[in-house]
Amino acid sequence: MLFSSIKMNLEQYYVEISIFIASVLGGLALKDYSVSFIKGLKFKLNSQFNEGEKVILDGEIAMIIKIGISTTIFGVYGKDGYTWRYISNNKIETLKLEKIVDKDLHADSIEEKKLRLEKILRGETDD
């Protein structure tokens, strides 16, 4: 008798329980998508990195091909040639990503520093 009364109560609330479980599962799926969307938007709006720029991605020279809502595509110059690497925007903040500003920029050698100092002492301007 006790089991039949519990069974009737469960049957009575079957629809409500099903809706609750479906909304919890839907909410969890929506949370993951929302986090990915927000991180993608944050990376896209970040003025430090733009599509077409060269970067160093985990030690490899790469180019930002496309910054999407959930995925960013990097063109990577590796030992296998030029490949596209699809990276979820959730993982971008965990990667070492460096922007290449000027590949020809280098620190002055001792000789260059000496020549610049001599020019300054002679009153010549650097052009």
Q: Where are the domains of the chain?
A: 2-103
User: Is 11 or 83 the better-scoring residue by pLDDT?
Assistant: 83
* pLDDT score at 85: 93
* pLDDT score at 7: 57
Helices marked H in the chain — which ranges? 2-12, 14-45, 89-92, 110-122
What does the alpha-carbon distance between residue 82 and residue 74 come to, in Å, rounded to a whole number? 10
2 has pLDDT over 60: no
Does residue 88 contact residue 37 with C-beta atoms inside 8 Å? no
11 has pLDDT over 60: yes
50-108 pLDDT, tens digit per residue, is 889 999 998 888 999 998 878 899 999 878 888 999 998 878 888 898 888 876 666 77
3 has pLDDT over 80: no
Which of these CATH numbers, 2.30.30, 2.50.20, 1.10.1740, 3.10.620, describes 2-103? Answer: 2.30.30
Residues 6+ apart with CB under 8 A from 69: 36, 37, 40, 41, 44, 89
